[in-house]
Amino acid sequence: MSVRIRFRRNIFAFYRLEKWILTIYIFAKILSTFYSSIPSDETEILEPYSLEELLQLKKRISVPLDILPSFRENVSCPILFNPRDHRYPSAKVKASKWHFESSDWNFWKQFEATPNICQTLQQTFSFFSKPLSQEEAEYPIAYGMLVYKDIKQLLYVLSAFYQPQNAYCIAIDGRSSGAFKTQMQIIQSCFSNIHVFVTKRIEYCGPQIPEAVLTCVDKLNERKHPWKYYQYLSGADLPLKTNLEMVRIFKALNGTFNAEVTLIDSYRYAKSVSLQDTK
């Protein structure tokens, strides 16, 4: 059996989430909300979002930003998305000084205090309840994620590219805290297409990482979900494409996949090997 590999760079760009996580989050949500495509005759035609529903979704996008301390006072998204605005330089400097507190212990408590935590999470982070287009409904994607901590950051990331027709497998590092594992189990209970499991303790660049990735593939197959392509993300990665764009990229790949080949850093080579390790 042969596998065709296309070595092309930059089809999938991933942004290390630091100061601009929320700017990317807003951009991805707004784009995906208003994307549409032509229906297909292959499956049942979906009822499209009404104008009122789209406007409500647009309003809900701002909700998670409102609960972030000092975000509104320091980050002006309209100006940052318009470099021609004369206020852009000063707005950029001001926004760069704002810091996203990913380890916020009080963040999760506000959801635990609600009578229906699933409903609150879905509404607060604007998780979509139905596909945004017929084309996306007919081409579900599978995602595998490896996470370790920071439920706050994870919710912002996951909700930015979540779609109800897709399938998500989240592998939890065995080193994660008991509280984080419990939080992830709650998220799984809120979404039928999100599946979580605890893997072995992960070592940096260790063999446990590909093992967790492949385990996710097995678990997604067990669910009998009709996903077309599988993509792996770490807990700090975010696709810089909308779901519809991803669907069209995967269609263009036509059964192939992208692999970036680079030289391995010298520090990753083992300079010595213990005889005990070879037994």
**CB neighbour class for 1 (10 Å; exposed up to 12, middle 13-18, buried from 19):** exposed
Lowest-confidence range among 40-54, 58-72, 152-166?
A: 40-54
Higher per-residue pLDDT: 247 or 7: 247
Give per-residue pLDDT as tens, 149-197. Answer: 889 889 999 998 999 999 999 999 999 999 999 999 999 999 999 999 9
pLDDT of residue 263: 79
Task: State the Cα–Cα distance between residues 127 and 181, nearest whole angstrom.
Answer: 21
CB distance 98 to 75 below 8 Å: yes
Cβ contacts of residue 155 below 8 Å, gap of 6+? 64, 121, 125, 187
Q: Which CATH class is domain 19-256?
A: alpha beta
As a whole-number percent, the residues of the chain with pLDDT over 70 amount to 79
Lowest-confidence range among 60-74, 165-179, 208-222?
A: 60-74
* Backbone φ and ψ of 194, nearest 5°: -110, 125
The label of the residue with tokens 């297909």 reads 40
Give per-residue pLDDT as tens, 238-276. Answer: 888 899 999 999 999 998 877 777 777 777 676 776 666
Return the domain boundaries, the chain: 19-256
Q: Is the pLDDT of residue 33 over 70?
A: no
The whole-number average pLDDT for the span 134-150 is 93
* Backbone φ and ψ of 192, nearest 5°: -70, -20
